[in-house]
Structure 1
Amino acid sequence: MKSFTLEEVSKHKSANDIWIAINGNVYDVTNWLIDHPGGRAILLKHGGTDASEQFAKFHNPNILNSIGSKFLIGKLGLPQAIDKEVKPKEALSFGDGVAFGDPQWYQGVKSPYYDESHYRLRNCIREFVDKEIMPFAHEWNEQGYLPKDIYLKFGKAGYLACISPIPEKYLKYPMPCGLTLKTFDPFHELVLADELCRCGSGGVVWGLIGGLPPILHFGSEELKQKVIPECVSGEKICCLCITEPYAGSDVANIKTTATLTPDGEHFIVNGEKKWITNGMFADFFTVAVRTGGEGAGGISLLLLERSMPGLTTRKINTSGQWCSGTAYITFENVKVPKSNIIGQINQGFKVIMYNFNHERVGMAIQCVRFSRVCYEEAFKYSLKRKTFGKLLIQHPVIRQKLANMIRQIESLAVWTESIVYQTKTLSKKEQNLLLGGPTALLKAHSSFVFEYCAREAAQIFGGLAFTRGGQAEKVERLYRDVRAYAIPGGSEEIMLDLGAKQAIKMSQLNGAKL
């Protein structure tokens, strides 16, 4: 890229020819004067100068990647003829270097959980998120959907195969960074989800994660071959349809019915599902239906397809998660082949429960990083915003807010890693016995921490956090996303109650002296 001195930049400061230097790059904003949301006067005022400090006061740095890239013409430095390559010092930590803005193992603290393969995956997915997702998260949320090409890019890079580790025979593209199913462990999944959440959008994250686990673990080989390869390549999307207007966390009381035809070859499905993530975009629908009597013993899972007559989706306008396609789904006499059963008939409740612990741990992982994003954004802002003649960071009340965010984030992160380690080392039977209660409590705790950090970060940003876009873009958006972690996957109240009841049960099983 061509280099310009600041002296050269200073020659371009008229309305017909205006350059500005920001963060070491040079931008020709002549054609941006008319469209600049802040008006042309502010650009003309700083034309021909290094406006890095002024830019930082008013803008989110992601703008330089999305809008700024259109006007980038070079870098600020020595003339190209004598420009020299300068080797940066070896970084003491990975990432931006903000203390507690990343997991501590990124910043030199030793951890027993991660090896060289986790470092490689972390580096790869961070580069992908920074280039392909971060600059566009705000735009995607405002438009209310993810573009098809991001699914294809995410799939081709191999990351969709890591959401739930997929056997290699179903993969069109290999796992990233030289990973294989044999070398993949739950901490690779944690790293992937954690880095993906740096975009600061629950809608983006949920939009990219489909409803494959029931098919992967319980589907027939025919269903697996039909669904998995196209979904993990990003060509198609699968969603999980459990919640109804009548039953959310109370899964055993769902009312959508599936009745066998007289010839026993098809099910006829009737009912409704509500708040279904990706429902607006999905090609495949993993649907909980009632095939038997009341309660958990009468539930089955069926695979439905968008092309089936009688299946309709309508968008639900939600507080957060705007680009994840939340839908109200109606089934009116939908004819489904009996071979589309997932698992055994009337055994669907077990299939649903099989993945609940995994889903709840995944939500905790997301809450950890979203809490970090809120803290990191607020920390950076506190170093440049002045009130009453002092930087925000110089006010004890602001430091206290940041400290309280840190202590909650780090305690949540450690507990989450501990639970993930159990999923790596315990058998499935042992996990079902030992982890149900702790995972429920972890899930509830994670949404409390996330909500606290989103609120405190918003307070530090002040009025900026009440505005969509701009410097507080991530914090404002995440504050709206909080409820999607406090309610779905088991509400806080139900998770806390489940954790307490499991504590009583385990105490009795352990022969506690009560």
Structure 2
Amino acid sequence: MNTEQSTKIDILRGGQFLVKETDCNDVFTPEDFSEEQKMMKDSVKEFVDREIWPNKEEFEKKNYKLTEEIMKKAGELGFLGVTVPEEYDGLGMDFISTMLVCDYISGATGSIATAFGAHTGIGTMPILLYGTEEQKKKYIPKLATGEWFGAYCLTEPDAGSDANSGKTKAVLSKDGKYYSISGQKMWISNAGFANMFIVFARIEDDKYITGFIVENDPENGITFGEEEKKLGIHASSTRQVFFNDTKVPVENMLSERGNGFKIAMNALNVGRIKLAVASLDAQRRVTDLAVKYSNDRVQFKTPIAKFGAIKSKLAEMATSAWVGESANYRAAKNIQDRIDIRLSEGSSYSEAELKSFEEYAIECSILKVACSEDIQNCSDQGIQIYGGMGFSADTPMESAWRDARIARIYEGTNEINRMLSVGMLVKKAMKGHVDLLGPAMKVADELTGIPSMEKPDFADVLSEEKAMIAKLKKVFLMVAGSAVQKFGPDLEEHQQLLLAAADILIETYMAESAILRAEKNANRYGIENQKYQIKMAQLYLYNAVDTVTIKAKEGIVSFAEGDEQRMMLMGLKRFTKYQNQPNVVELRNSIAEKLTSENKYCF
């Protein structure tokens, strides 16, 4: 879609999905990929199947050199610079294409997923978004082509989730020509082969840290710890980096003094959605392997794929991958459309990207949490389907499970991202960017009103599911609205309540994305053609309703008492009630039988 067309769409602002209905025709789905994007996808898949998948054993043996070699080849093919403008030797493609490459290059091993994500995301984007023209011309072409590799030095022994608490210092020289940086950074991905670091340090007693571009020169006071011994991502180079009076020219300051915390947080917005999409092909591959194994494995003279317990697992694994795909590309297109609008209004490339990622920070956090947990659950079920063999390092399930575990920690822990998603939404409401107050008051009025006895007509495909999505949004508004009213600015101190509200928000967004994709494709390809996709959307929603019920009840009883509590619990029951309860066993069986008949992940 070109810029002129995209500006005509009523694009929801970040977080507005909660209070406004989205037309299915306005969401982007993988079925909407352009021919160029399909070719890019095929090219990346061919590269992974040729260069990465056959070498899985080598990655588990901590072959860091192989990771570096694969990254260089990826750079030669243009995969490291998909969204980098052509003037800096990139391919100049859109953000959806960037997500597409990140998706399919990351599925074979977490080691490459981490190296790729760290380099193209937090290793390159800070310069592209915040660098001067001179900095971009000097560094971006090398990073985009794989001539150089980047790393991101933020975390310290005492500065993890509290990123601004770092103790690394930057002292200006007497002649004002350079800064001397001294400090310790840890858990630095790509440290073993990085040519350049984005380093965050504090100047004097500044309130906020400052970002610097630091070239890797061992004769300039830069030393490294040994490679970390890790649970997973074995061939991802992860080391401590020590700076001892490392001299950095003043022109290598990134953005302005004291702007480092802002750079770090905004870089993480990009990193979060890219981490989410990087979980998808891993889920597809794990599901694919589990399907094949369950068809081949015979017990009691029957392939285990025929057993209901296995069908349930396969259906849930495939569904989470398909739903994650739906939500990621929906958000990616929202971001790209916002970039296009800003560019058409005269914004610079950097400003357009920066503001657009910031706009959808809530969705980025939602996706990061949902998809990182889905790949963990998927790989765990994969091990279970393989049984004893799944626990063996001779099969790919064991390494998939170990590699998946880190995704819930980096780019901000899932606990931090849960609380951020709700906190950012409340702040948007206070700024008037998202009208939560009006809809929340309507829900409050509805709770005290007389429920309608009229049964709605759910004749159209997915019409009841869409109505359920609308009711789940009411649950969030009921819980969060009452909590904000009760605690005000002190809400952030009630972390367990925030976590419960976040799960309602997450499940609502993910389920809605699935319903919208299924509806859009059913309308254009026919219900029969999309019957399994419709079933997956229904299955995910069924599970989402259960999660929302549990989390909302947990939240309500934590702060409401007496009549208020009873009224809210009655409202919760009303808002989570189906008119036509889906047969969840039939849904799972049907999805699983489609998978096993195709003998692969086929959606």
TM (norm. structure 2) is 0.61
Is residue 295 of structure 2 the alignment partner of residue 386 of structure 1?
no
Kept in 2: contact 1:151–1:235 (CA 8 A): no
Structure whose residues are more often strand by fraction: 1
Letter in 2 for 1:191: L
1:186 correspondence with 2:95:
yes
User: Partner residue of 1:74?
Assistant: none
Alpha-carbon shift at residue 303 of structure 1 (Å): 2.2
How far residue 269 of structure 1 moved from its aligned partner, in angstroms, is 0.8
Q: SS of the counterpart of 1:324? A: coil
Q: 2:70 is matched with which residue?
A: 150
How far apart in 2 are the matches of 1:273 and 1:437? 28
Deviations along 1:249-277, whole A, 9 cap, x unmatched? 22121111111111111111111111110
Q: Quote the Cα distance in structure 1 between the aligned partners of 2:296 and 2:369.
A: 34
SS at match of 1:275: strand
Q: Could you tell me how far 1:311 is from its partner in structure 2?
A: 0.8
User: 1:480 and 1:192 mapped to 2: Cα distance?
Assistant: 23
Alpha-carbon displacement from aligned partner over 1:341-400 (angstroms, at most 9, x marks no partner): 111122122222222211100011011222222211111110101122211101110001
Give the deviation of 1:131 after TM superposition.
1.4
1:129 matched residue in structure 2: 48
Alignment pair present for 1:228 and 2:132: no
Instruction: Specify the code of the residue in structure 1 equivalent to 2:58.
Output: E
Tell me the distance in 1 between the aligned counterparts of 2:170 and 2:213.
9
SS at match of 1:247: coil
1:213 equivalenced with 2:125 (yes/no) = yes
Distance (Å, rounded) in 1 between the aligned partners of 2:288 and 2:374 = 15
The equivalent residue for 1:503 is: 425
How far apart, CA to CA, are the structure 1 residues paired with 2:217 and 2:300? 58
* Contact residue 113 and residue 187 of structure 1 kept, 8 A: no
- 1:395 counterpart residue number: 307
Are 2:281 and 1:369 aligned? Answer: yes
Following the alignment from structure 1 to structure 2, what is the Cα–Cα distance between the partners of residues 207 and 424? 24
Pair 229,482 (structure 1): closer, same or farther in 2 beyond 3 Å: same
Identify the residue that residue 119 of structure 1 maps to in structure 2.
38
Letter in 1 for 2:368: K
Q: How many residues align?
A: 390
Seen in structure 2, the aligned counterparts of structure 1 residues 267 and 437 have a Cα distance that, compared at 3 Å, is same
Q: Which residue of 1 aligns with 2:539?
A: none
- 1:322 alignment partner, one of 212, 226, 234: 234
- The change in CA–CA distance for 1:309 and 1:432 in structure 2 (over 3 A counts) is closer
Using the TM superposition, give the Cα deviation of residue 302 of structure 1 relative to its aligned residue in structure 2, in angstroms.
3.5
Give the share of equivalent positions with the same residue, in percent: 27
Are positions 1:271 and 2:183 aligned together? yes
- Give 1:337 shift: 1.5
Query: In the superposition, relative to structure 1, how do residues 149 and 436 fare at CA in structure 2: closer, same or farther (>3 Å)?
Result: closer
Q: 1:188 to 1:298 in 2, by over 3 A?
A: closer
Mean Cα deviation higher: 137-146 or 234-243: 137-146
In the TM superposition, 1:73-92 aligns within 5 A as: none
Quick one: distance in 2 between partners of 1:140 and 1:448? 23
1:111, distance to aligned residue in structure 2 (A)? 4.9
Could you say what secondary structure the match of 1:273 adopts? strand
Asked whether the 8 Å contact 2:29–2:329 carries over to 1, the reply is: no
Q: How many angstroms apart in 2 are the aligned matches of 1:110 and 1:445? A: 18
What does residue 449 of structure 1 align with? 374
How far, CA to CA, are the matches of 1:361 and 1:110 in structure 2? 16
**Relative to 1, partners in 2 of residues 1:347 and 1:306: Cα closer, same or farther, differing over 3 Å?**
same
Specify the SS of the correspondent of 2:199: strand
Residue 339 of structure 1 pairs with residue 251 of structure 2: yes
Q: Is the 8 A contact 1:292 1:299 kept in 2?
A: no
Query: CA, structure 1 residues 434+222, in 2 after alignment: closer, same or farther (shift >3 Å)?
Result: closer
- Measure the CA separation in 1 of the matches of 2:73 and 2:359: 38
Q: 1:312 aligns with which of 215, 219, 223?
A: 223
Superposition map of 1:49-68 within 5 A: none
Residue 461 of structure 1 aligns with which residue? 386
Task: Give me the whole-angstrom Cα distance separating, in 2, the residues matched to 1:156 and 1:433.
Answer: 31
Please state whether the residue corresponding to 2:211 is helix, strand or coil: strand
Q: Give the counterpart letter for 2:378 in structure 1.
A: C
Contact 1:374 1:454 (C-alpha < 8 Å) held by counterparts: yes
SS at 1:383 equivalent: helix
Ranges in structure 1 where 5+ consecutive residues have no aligned partner? 1-108
Return the letter of the residue paired with 1:483: R
Larger helix fraction of residues:
2
Structure 1 counterpart of 2:77, one-letter code? A
Unaligned runs of 5+ in 2: 1-27, 340-351, 442-480, 482-603
Mean alpha-carbon deviation: is it higher for 216-225 or for 267-276?
216-225
Is the 8 Å Cα contact of residues 273 and 329 (structure 1) preserved in structure 2? Answer: yes
In the TM superposition, what whole-angstrom CA distance separates every residue of 1:433-476 from its partner, at most 9, and x where no partner exists?
642222212211111111110110011112222222x3x22x21
Give the alignment partner of residue 425 of structure 1, picking from 323, 334, 337.
337
> Cα offset for 1:486?
0.2
* Pairing 1:483–2:425 present: no
Contact 1:129 / 1:196 at 8 angstroms: preserved in 2? yes
Q: Which residue of 1 aligns with 2:212?
A: 301
Judging changes above 3 Å, is the alpha-carbon distance between structure 1 residues 232 and 203 closer, same or farther for their aligned structure 2 residues? same
Match of 2:171 in 1: 259
* 1:308 and 1:335 in contact (8 A); partners too: no
- Is contact 2:185–2:241 with CA below 8 Å preserved after alignment? yes
Deviation string 1:402-453 (CA, Å, 9 cap, x unpaired) is: 1121222222221111111111112457646642222212211111111110
Q: Which amino acid aligns with 2:260?
A: G
1:169 aligns with 2:87: yes
Amino acid at match of 2:114: W
CA 1:306–1:466: 2 relative to 1, 3 Å: farther
SS of the aligned residue for 2:33 comes to coil
8 Å CA contact 1:275, 1:326 repeated in 2: yes
CA distance in 1, matches of 2:47, 2:31: 26
Question: Displacement of 1:310 after TM fit?
Answer: 1.5
How far apart are residue 156 of structure 1 and its match?
Answer: 1.6
Identify if the C-alpha distance between structure 1 residues 111 and 316 changes in structure 2 by more than 3 Å, giving closer, same or farther. Answer: closer
